[in-house]
Amino acid sequence: MHDIYSQQSRNRRVTILLMLGFFIFVVLIGISVDVYTYGTLDVKRVPVATVFAVTLAGINGFVSYFYGSSVVLRSLGAETPVFEDLTHKRLHNVVTEMALASGLPMPRIYIINDPAPNAFATGRNPENSVVGVTQGLLDSMSREELQAVVAHEMGHIKSFDILTMTVVTVLVGTVSILSDWAVRTWRYGGIRPRRDVRSKGGVHPLALLVIALFVVISPVISRIIAMAVSRNREYQADASAAEFTRNPLALASALQKIGDATSPLRTARRGTAHLFISDPLKRKLDEKTGLMADVFSTHPPIHERVERLKKMAYVYGKDTSRGI
């Protein structure tokens, strides 16, 4: 099994590097707008777009760290459990069991009222963590399968994946918003080269092409980074779930049920897809292998995860011949 403490330290470092990287991305977008407007960066002029970008990056970095989970929960339409509902009560009991098994504080529990089976975790640290599931997951899983899914999410919490992925969710959205703002303002004439720049022939065409290309592709690059960060974490969380439950086949069975479901999660977006145990958008790319899948998919293929869990079953003395 992996060293959970080394993983926690690594995730903290990755989070800091990601925040720094996205901050640089946002600042470069602002600089690009100023270069287009002024023809160069002149210290005598106030770089309005750069100042705006730095301010936006700082505010969103603060929000993503301290309030990222609230942003995620609102965007997904998640609600607190209703204890008159027996499936919600069962979930509470299972989360309590898995918190004890993992040695973690009890996370807050949220429900997404959607028939698509899925689950996610978010938060800043184990003391401020959230486990969320869909109603579809509660309706379709046995108790053992539900334990395994919750254990997977507890694995994300214990390794501090939740901090990294929550921060990424907010910051990717920031880059996309700022890039979209720059493109729209250029398109509709909100940003034009200054008169003195135009009189000198404007911005060099090659420089303009580089600026435009960077602004357009920056959201794509930031999303690819987010996807790359999330894929390997799923294998690690699967291993943690097997460790907490001593029952890898239960998670394998749960993943197959989730994979067999055809309907996407209605409230999920590309910016939050990497938070879930399986791609909530049901894109075919996530079930493929190869370079394109490695670059653009948010999750490793479910069939590969199931095969790994079957191999783990031998370690825990589970019978894999009976199927799942």
Residue type, 220: V
**pLDDT tens, position by position, 183-231:** 666 665 555 555 544 444 444 455 556 666 666 676 676 667 666 666 6
**More confident: 182 or 239:** 239
At residue 4 the predicted structure's pLDDT band, cuts being 50, 70 and 90, is: low
Q: Looking at 79, 127, 145, 153, which residue is catalytic?
A: 153
Give me the chain's average pLDDT, please.
Answer: 80
Within 13 A of 144's CA, how many CA atoms are on the CB side? 10
Scan for tokens 């065409």, then name that residue.
205
304 belongs to the catalytic site: no
CA distance 146 to 106: 16
pLDDT at 136 over 50: yes
**pLDDT tens, position by position, 180-194:** 766 666 665 555 555
**More confident: 277 or 161:** 277
pLDDT value, residue 319 = 58
pLDDT value, residue 185 = 62
Domains annotated on the chain, with CATH: 4-66+169-219 (no CATH), 76-162+227-315 (3.30.2010.10)
pLDDT value, residue 223 = 65
Q: Strand pairing partners for 79?
A: 111
Closest to 324 (Cα-Cα) out of 163, 187, 167, 144? 144
**More confident: 75 or 31:** 75
pLDDT value, residue 189 = 54
Angle at 18 between CA 223 and CA 209, to 5 degrees: 55
pTM (2 d.p.): 0.78
pLDDT at 270 over 90: no
